[in-house]
Structure 1
Amino acid sequence: MRIRPLRAAVAALALAATAACSLNANPTTSAKPGSLAAGVSLKGATFTVGSKEFTEQLVLCHITSLALQSAGATVREKCGLSGSDTTRTALTSGSIDMYWEYTGTAWINYLKHTDPIPDAARQYQAVAQQDLAANHVRWLDASPANNTYAIAVKASTARELGVSTLSDYARLTHTDPAKASLCAASEFLGRNDGLPGLERAYGFTVTPANLAEGAIYNAVANNNPCNFGEADTTDGRISGLGLTVLTDDRNFFPIYNPALTLREDVYQAHPDLAKIANPIAAALTTDVLQQLNAAVDIKGQDPAQVAQTWLQDKGFVGR
């Protein structure tokens, strides 16, 4: 479904308002006990749940908050913190107790490795072991979803330009730079697993337009100001706006499986947190995350309500 510009703008403003209101706020929704609370009690425990600022993270923040509430915990939300480094620092400094992080992000950004491990299970094990040993950060089970970076283009534009892989795109940057115009957000422009590494891996350089992450999808769909753009593979706007993802034929982009991360002291005080989070992680496939993200970004629904509806439909929390 193609979104009209006005509707897209309204949705973007609504999402921004939701993120802003979520910071330092008490939850706007509550949850009754469901399957997650069976045999688990967090009564008397208080947690601060955080997240980064983009849609998927907001939904995951609310999912976690509601799940904890269903088991009797008191929860404070700091959903919508600005960027990976800010959110990670909030965790390690004690400003928040937990948030969902991605294996590839931690391996490269926090553990300072250059090369990702191409096997998802081995990558998770390496991240979980090293982050715990070096930083006292505990990783609960990882989701099977892979929210990796990608380069997206409108499907009709891809056909017109004959571009289906990142190698095709690299050739286009040399033969027709104007048609290879790229939009990307600040974080992607500065990360080794973002544009700098992509350029090295595929042998091209490009001068991108720097846009807010949420604006990139509509920019690509409208071919203004770019034909190509940074994307996340679990983003619902890819299918919703008629975009397609270029095949990473050199397997550059790391695997980004999300998992709930928390400080080791929090986990040791409340080991039952794994019984709450692990079933959620197992249910979060790539398709599920695309649907949850689309409910916010395409249908304009509130992230907290999307989270609550999904948890209730799964029986994880009560109605």
Structure 2
Amino acid sequence: MSTETVTPRARPADAPRPASPPARGQGGPATGFLAPFAVLYLAFIIGPAVYGLIMSFFDSSLVRPGLGHFAGFGNYAEALQDRDFWSSLWHTLWFTILTTPPLIVLAFVFALLADRVGRGRWFFRLAFFAPYILPSAVIALIWMFIYTPGLGLAEAALTKIGITAPAWLGDPNWAMPSLAITTVWWTLGFNFILYLAGLQEIPRDLYEASAIDGATPWQQIRRITIPMLGRTTTLVAVLQVIASLKVFDQMYIMTSGGPNFATRSILEYVYDQGFTNFRLGYAAAVSMLFFIVVLAISAIWFSIVRRQEKEV
């Protein structure tokens, strides 16, 4: 009976080598560098959030030390039955609806135009991004002057073309659109930069090949640019929805929730309850309810995006 010697097959030279496990203690420096951030994150983000959740179950007051008496779900029940809570929540959602679509569409259009400029591209980048770096108080004062009746630039421009200017911040029907216009002008630059970065990642060979095949510029945008910027659009949309839901500064400075509470956002409602009416426990409960709303909207949006990615 003969025996055969089996030799192991040689592994090709270009075959990937299995990754070796990290040596023990190799992650120590990384943990050391991350430790200060983790401490600050726990101290100023997680800690206040947990304390706010605990506070929402008590009738805590700004003028009384300690948590106060245990209220259970009383603060939550009161908030859900308060018409002011629902109206401020609707104002926040309405502001989000007014600002999110133009901040996505205009940012994409302006980024597309700036990307195709031959000379002076730096100027357009600076011009669109410059308002975003200004503080909210500066933006509010600038646009309050623009909207000033009788003296504002908006009224002067409309009067020259024969249009009667509305009471921008004094009319309940125009106050929220006026704030939306201010916010679009202010924050457009951030989304503009994201889209511009995404456009620069698209290979130019795709456009050259499509031009040889006879594709028009609009067909290139519809068949190449928009699909290739799908993930960028998702990122911009998610960030914009969350940012619009957290609106506070420009509303509080320009209108203080008026006229007749027509522009009071949910965060301003929390501020009024906590620091004007001194009801910290109730304000904490409203904050937790708002957190649930934001979490639900984000979950719905991510589910829609995942379905679209699976279909593609």
Same fold (TM over 0.5): no
TM-score by length of structure 2 reads: 0.28
Q: Which has the larger radius of gyration?
A: 2
More helix per residue: 2
More strand per residue: 1
